[in-house]
Amino acid sequence: MTTPTLPGSWQLEIQARDSDGLPLPTTDAPPIQPLALRLAAPTEATISVGLDVTPPVAEAGGATTVAFSVTGAPQSQAGGLVATIGNVGRTTIPATSQDGTPTLVEAWSLPLAADGAAVRLAGTPLAADLPPGGQVTLQLSRPAADAVIVVHLSGDPAAIGRSVPATVLFTASAAGSETLTQLHVPDLRDRGLASPTSPTASTPVAGQPVSPSPVAAGVSVMQTDAAREVAIGLERTPASSPPVSTRIPDERDAPPGILVRTLSTLEANVVGPTTAVLPWPHSGAEDAREMLSVVGVPAGIRLVVVALVPDGGSVADPATLRLAWVSVSTPTTHVTPR
């Protein structure tokens, strides 16, 4: 078989057929598991985030591993974060592009607290060029409370190439221990290449919940054609099967609030993160599905994070998290021809 030539995420599906090309009977068709493939671009980095790791400084097999830390960040702190950037492409990712633009490792903390402000954990330049097969590690201070952590490369797009930002959920327990949970976000740049089961522009795009939620409601992130808007899909009863006690909400139940955060990870979209806390629309239906428009979102490709804040609370329920990449358009001015 010929390997795809377009970089991105692909899914290989193999179907056994009869010698005449017709599908085999169901009883004779052997199940063949699909295979997910990732075709790296000539310039592409993979990014991951770990917890409580002290990165080594080593050199082996020509692949250089460099460790450095952010000024002011705690060293070898229990529960600290470590971001790892690996060059999986075939070209060197320069520390500084030809036009002088530095390549930065940026990290953001988007708190689940509705009144919390987004925190830029890092904006550190690469200490040296990153050759193919090489990797670099960066120590980060941990967030003060539960938050979504986003780590990405920033700089000259021609120099840093393609890379999908790492997105993880940081949670802290009452006992003082911390955990990281990988959040799977459909990547807008790979969406056209993904498998048929992946979201498309005409369907909701959202990450999976982390764990069962006691909140009898659900949200999803939708693509919208309106300028500077993001559409949020609302569902009073989640599609999953929660406990019977929360499956059918009573009309007297106070609806949750909706926490919406957006973040740009592209250098061209320099507008900082935004935050909105929206009330749940009043509806008397037990199984109401509605749409809510979030206006005033900065133009560009934005990472949208949505979660529900239980009534009377101030922190969003991690199990209700939904994330998606959304392309927000800029209003256009139509010139009247004369």
Model confidence over 21-43: pLDDT tens digits?
Answer: 898 888 888 888 888 777 777 88
Per-residue pLDDT, averaged over 7-18, amounts to: 81
Q: Which of 326, 308, 48 is nearest to 186 (CA)?
A: 326
pLDDT digit string (tens) for 193-240?
A: 332 333 333 233 334 434 445 566 778 887 777 888 888 888 766 544
Per-residue pLDDT, averaged over 318-329, amounts to: 86
146 touches 302 (CB < 8 A): no
pLDDT digit string (tens) for 117-143?
A: 999 998 899 989 999 999 999 888 888
Query: What pLDDT is stored for residue 23 in this prediction?
Result: 87
Cα 306 to Cα 190: distance, rounded to the nearest angstrom:
21
Length of the chain as a residue count: 338
Give DSSP secondary structure letters for 206-226: -PPPSS--SSS-EEEEE---S
Q: How many CB atoms lie within 10 A of CB 147?
A: 26
- State what percent of residues in the chain have pLDDT above 90: 20
Out of 3.30.1310, 2.40.128, 3.40.30, 2.60.40, the CATH code matching 44-182 is: 2.60.40
Tell me the pLDDT band of 190, cut-offs 50, 70 and 90.
low
Per-residue pLDDT, averaged over 150-177, amounts to: 82
Range in 80-94, 199-213, 299-313 the model is least confident about: 199-213
Q: Which of 33, 331, 43, 46 is nearest to 187 (CA)?
A: 46
Backbone CA torsion sign across 198, 201, 207, 208: negative
Domain with CATH 2.60.40 in the chain: 44-182, 193-328
Predicted confidence (pLDDT) at residue 62 exceeds the cutoff of 90: no
Q: Give the three-state DSSP class for 42.
A: coil
CATH 2.60.40 fits 193-328, yes or no: yes
Q: Give the three-state DSSP class for 4.
A: coil
Query: What pLDDT is stored for residue 29 in this prediction?
Result: 85
Predicted confidence (pLDDT) at residue 49 exceeds the cutoff of 50: yes
Residue that wins the pLDDT comparison between 258 and 247: 258
Predicted confidence (pLDDT) at residue 66 exceeds the cutoff of 80: no
Query: What pLDDT is stored for residue 311 in this prediction?
Result: 83
Tell me the pLDDT band of 72, cut-offs 50, 70 and 90.
very low
Tell me the pLDDT band of 334, cut-offs 50, 70 and 90.
low
Per-residue pLDDT, averaged over 95-123, amounts to: 92
- Strand arrangement, sheet containing 147-154: 119-125, 104-111, 147-154, 166-172, 178-182
Joined tokens for residue 61? 């097999």
